[in-house]
Amino acid sequence: MNRYKLLFALFVFCIAALILRLGSLQLIYSQKIQTGLYDQRYKQYLLYKEKGDILDRNRIPLTASSVETVLIMNYDTYVDNNELFNEIDNYIFLSLSPDNPVIIRTTEQEGKRIKEALKDECRILRVKNTNPSLAKHVIGYRSGYNQEGIAGLLKAYDDILDCDSGILYSVLQDINGNVIFDSEPSITVKGDRYHPHHVVLTLDIHYQRIVEDYLKETGKKGCVILQDCNTGYVLAMASAPDYTVDYSGEFLKGENGELLNRAVCEYNPGSIVKAVIAAVILESFDTRDFDLHCNGFYRFQGRTIQCSAHDFDRERAVDLPEAFAVSCNSYFINAARKIGYEKIYLKAVELGLTKETGLPQETGEKKGYLPEPEEVKSDIDLANLVLGQWVFKVTPIQICNLTSAVANGGMLNRVNLVLGVVNDKGQKILDLTDKHGERVISRNAAKRLAGIMERCVKSGTGKLSDPGNMIGVGGKTGTAGEQEGHNTVWFTGFFPVSNPKFAMTVLLEDATSGASDAAPLFGKIAAEIMNQK
């Protein structure tokens, strides 16, 4: 009898232990079990990667958010209805594999069309995307579901802007990996660092918008750069034509160089180079030694160089200020022959015309090109260089920085485009400015050259660059090319002359002259910039 009682008690104990075990599994491990089952039947796909912003110097975002359309379907559905997708001009696969659902990013219009055709065999979602709204050639663009920086500063600082968070889309799949579309999808957050870092630029969004609007208004290819002449900070940098970042994060490829940031490309400088020769004369010579009678042409070694600045019957000698103001070719060719090319070459190098200015590598900045003294074989070669032609190449950003050096008294600063990195609270965590500068023109020579540039605007080829309103501008025009209407034209200058703060360089392609095309654009922008103060 006792043995039966013992067996019964043991049985009851085992049953109780089993019940307790089942209870513990239900209460304590239910979440883990559910998660395990969930993981076996659900699969997650990253639809959007959180990233930091590119900010202007006032901490205003230069990137804009947009909402984009995403389609999700099974691989067999995509293959069986391939003709639907052949009609789409642009779309990007976030996933294309027989083992996974097909995930496509497209336009809202195309998304609705395909959804109507596929009905329950397709799911449509809306996700966020960010790309630059201003300064696109500087900032670059992002692409793909992970928002990877592909070009420009978005590429240069992709690691800094990266963030371990994003939007995951979870779908229920059968044993073959096909999505069960009548199930309820789940959108969850990946990661817990919702506080990305942001890169702060020297650009000012208000100046940038002004520069872009006026440049676009011309309808020409070209660029405009606005710089703080005392710090080297770039306040605006625009290039035209612009490009469009579409829903896929890719660009619309065009045939007009839409992707080129013309501010860092190489061009013949035309008469802009006369500022370099003037700097050499002012620093090392008595300017009176270069006075010249110009009769509208300059003859040497059997060649004749035309000079449209002066009449054929002129008797009075031309001095440096007048020659610079009216861009007299005869004066500067004669001066260059007296000075010798080596001195001009060394000054051009000192002024930064053969090296990068300090912009991040991903901006694509070129070095420019100036032949070394041994490459210049004759006075004809020298004359072509003095006219800013032949193989002589500079970038607009180099010319703008040179102009800043004249305006600030002779200091060539490193060009700064990026101020640093801040956290989500706006606290600076990294300073990326380069405050290095070096004297490249004596203070006295720089002051005299600035005065000569002011005369160019008051009574020379740069008249149309002065917007009036007592602003005062100093500058220089330039025209490279010999085909009417298809020249590369320049105007570079500084303002206000009483206390220079801004340097600006305007370059236009396929134009007539610096005086008639670039100078007026400079004047319009300068007036608008001063109205912002």
- Phi, psi angle pair for 473, to nearest 5°: -130, 145
Residue 190 · residue 218 · CB < 8 Å: no
Residue 70 · residue 93 · CB < 8 Å: no
Residue 241 · residue 486 · CB < 8 Å: no
> What residues are paired with 507 via a beta bridge?
223, 490
Question: CA 80, CA 77: separation in Å to the nearest integer?
Answer: 5
Edge-first strand listing for the sheet containing 63-73: 92-95, 102-106, 63-73, 122-132
> What residues are paired with 508 via a beta bridge?
222, 489
72 burial type by CB count under 10 A (0-12 exposed, 13-18 middle, 19+ buried): buried
Q: Which pair of tokens denotes residue 270?
A: 């035309």
H or E element at residue 419: strand 418-422
**């663009």: which residue's tokens?**
141
Taking the model in full, what pTM does it have?
0.82
Please give the C-alpha separations between residue 199 and each of 131, 204, 419, in angstroms, as whole numbers: 14, 14, 8
Class at the top of the CATH hierarchy for domain 205-531: alpha beta
**């070394």: which residue's tokens?**
372
Kindly report the CATH number that applies to the domain delimited by 42-201. Answer: 3.90.1310.10
Domain ranges (residues) in the chain: 42-201, 205-531
- Phi, psi angle pair for 455, to nearest 5°: -65, -35
Question: Which residue in 290, 291, 270 sits closest to 280, CA to CA?
Answer: 290
- pLDDT tens string, the chain, 533 residues long: the values are 566 666 666 776 777 777 777 666 566 555 544 444 444 466 777 666 778 889 999 999 997 766 677 888 888 888 888 777 776 655 665 567 777 778 877 777 888 888 888 888 888 877 666 667 899 999 988 766 566 778 889 999 988 888 766 666 676 777 666 766 655 555 555 555 556 889 999 999 999 999 999 999 999 999 999 999 999 999 999 999 988 765 434 445 556 788 899 999 999 999 999 999 999 999 999 999 999 888 777 887 777 778 877 665 556 689 999 999 999 999 999 999 999 999 999 999 999 999 999 998 888 899 999 999 999 999 999 999 999 999 999 999 999 999 999 999 999 999 999 999 998 888 999 999 999 999 999 999 999 999 999 999 999 999 999 888 778 999 999 999 866 668 999 999 999 999 999 999 999 999 999 999 999 999 999 999 999 86
Question: CA 212, CA 528: separation in Å to the nearest integer?
Answer: 12
